[in-house]
Amino acid sequence: MPRLEEVANVVLRVPSILVLDMLYKCDIDSFTDHLKARTEDMLFKYKYVIWNIYYLGHVVSAVVLLLPLGHIIQLYLHVLCALLLYMGHQIVRDYVRDEAKYGYDGALFLDSPALNRFVTALTSQIIVSTLCAFLMRTQRVWLFSAHLLPLLARVVCIPLDWLLTLSSASMMITGAEVAIFLLANLFVPYRLARAAYREIMAIEVTELYRLMAVGVSLWHGFAVPVLFSVFWFVLFGVQLVSNYGTLTAVQQGPLLYLLTSVSECCASPYSLLGLTFVVSYMALGLLSLCKFYLGGFNALQNHNVMHRGVTEGVTLLLLALQTGLLDMAALQRCFLLFIILFIVLTSTLQSMSEITEPVVLGLGASRNRSVWKHLRGLSMCGFLLLFPGFMAYKISQFFNMDFWLLILVSSCMLTSLQVMGTLLIYSLFMVEVWRGAALPGLDEIVYYVNGVCRVLEFAVAVCVVAYGAWESLWGEWSWMGASVIIIHSYCNVWLRAQAGWKSFLLRQEAARKINVLPRASAEQLEDHNDVCAICFQDMTSAVITYCGHFFHGSCLRKWLYVQETCPMCHASIKPSPANPNAAAGETPPPPQNPPPSEQQPSPETHQEEQQGSQGDNVRSAETNCDESDRTYSNSDRNCSKEGLQHLHYGANGDSQGVADPVPSCSSDGNAQVASQELMEAD
């Protein structure tokens, strides 16, 4: 039954929002201007009553909307019971009128038509009284039987003139019962509000946190997104049915007819909020479908709030409030809503591109050989490459090209441009897989491709802010427009500029540090005879850190984007005060812990070894091996595997980089063995 309660919690609150929406659309001023009265005093009283009814309708609808589910169910049961009683009185009144028209006031069993009418009316009245008692969960059926008085009077042959009087008297009795019930429950909303207030005040927290807790509780308790979505769909369905088949609908065509109906269903704050949630859910459906197409059911577990349709819904709401959508005429609202929905669709495509990019790049970087996965990723990229261009072409056919339309078209083209950059990087990864060797300067190419896309995005954001500021200063200024411009300036201009500049400084600093480090000569590489501990590839050229470790220059530069320490021993990548010659470009000394085979034994040690037994030599060898193993284990633990996973194609500060799974690094001379052991352990 919990599922049924959730459905009832939404469905039973929709009528209250429908009433609020109708009250908002009512033009009370125009209605009161057409009122006529004998005197000005009577006209003032009429207007006073109408305005009070208008405000009372808002209060009652809001109270019903905020009632708990159990009280709403009781309210609807009482309303249904009242409608049944009204129907019973209408049946009795129709029966009395038919009897008066027929003109027979004798015994019922002597006239067959009169008897048939009486039996029909009596049966319907018994059913009505029984249903009312059932709805009120009581056995006192007589409380709902006042409308039976004219029928009982007809049985005892009371004159027909008296039946109309008894019918009116029965209605008065029922009205008195309803009034007594309302007076007895008049303070129920007050008691509920007082109980809720006491429960809220019992929470010993700050005022701000208390208000946030109340808001979150109401949001989840009333299922606000689902509630307003259902309300909007009901409104939209009524609008479609009411205008279906009309001459205007036939002339407009299906697409324009749907768009006009949608614009008619966002003429109040309640319907606009409902449209916001509907657009949010539709965007969530498209993004979920994109995730499912690319990665299957496992991809749907991603709970990134930016990919749950929230951005699209908020964009629609802010643009509608900023442009004054509610105050426009129907035709103007239709065209403006078309532009807003175009922007929302562009934002949805951008989110789909953000979902697709890491998946496609991950397929290329991880050397995945599943043809079906590659085909799905490339087909999604093809859709995101062509469809924004098609949208830009279509909207340019409807409107004349101006600065605002240019910004919209540029947003579509930016999405296509980002997809082209993704496909270019994917192609480079696949070429690297086909060659079986790393491409020289791949990380630089990836960085510049991403950099071009980010610069163009930044330029479009700056143009939007500049145009909005120009409209606010020289056009129609509003607090909402200024707030949107400020938020857009901070999120899409300032933060992007800050992130891009930080990435650029990181690369410059890493390049400067690499250029300062000495280069290994051919003799040093031959003596070292090991692979790069970052990429596990042979070294034909290398740089030497101040702590004496050898790395590829490009690999170490990628590492310096993440950390400023040596990947092996976590020593700082800068000249040490104890080793000033290293800064001058001289070859640094060898590592402080050379292999045991290269150590020269001291005279005392040589003498002890000559005097020791073979067992002592064995124990000494075992001890050295244990110490070597401990040194290797410590070095392996100190190496940051998480940092190395950012180094596949230029970890340039961009959070969307695809990581190449690299195992933990090993000590010098044991990198190949360590790589094989870690791969087997994984």
Q: What is the DSSP letter of 572?
A: B
Residue 149's closest CA among 96, 100, 102? 96
Instruction: Round to whole Å and give the CA distance between 320 and 313.
Output: 11
Contacts of 677 (CB under 8 A, 6+ apart): none
The helix/strand/coil state of 616 is helix
Instruction: Check if the beta carbon of residue 151 is closer than 8 Å to that of residue 122.
Output: yes
Helix axes 330-365, 403-435, angle to 10 degrees: 10
Instruction: Round to whole Å and give the CA distance between 542 and 555.
Output: 10
Strand 543-544, strand 550-551: pairing: antiparallel
What is the rounded radius of gyration, in angstroms, for the C-alpha atoms of the chain? 40
The residues facing 538 across adjacent strands are 531
From 532, 535, 569, 665, the catalytic residue:
532
Instruction: Round to whole Å and give the CA distance between 116 and 154.
Output: 13
Q: How many C-alpha atoms does 566 have within 13 Å on its Cβ side?
A: 25
Instruction: Check if the beta carbon of residue 635 is closer than 8 Å to that of residue 569.
Output: yes
Residue 163's closest CA among 98, 86, 84? 98
What is the total residue count of the chain?
Answer: 682
Catalytic residue flag (residue 532): yes
Residue 650: how many other CB atoms lie within 10 Å:
25
Helices (H), ranges, 12-111 = 14-25, 28-33, 40-66, 69-102
Residue type at position 89: H
Distances in Å between the alpha carbon of 26 and those of 50, 390, 395, 659?
12, 42, 35, 59
Residue type at position 599: Q
Instruction: Round to whole Å and give the CA distance between 214 and 273.
Output: 20
- Cite the active site residues: 532
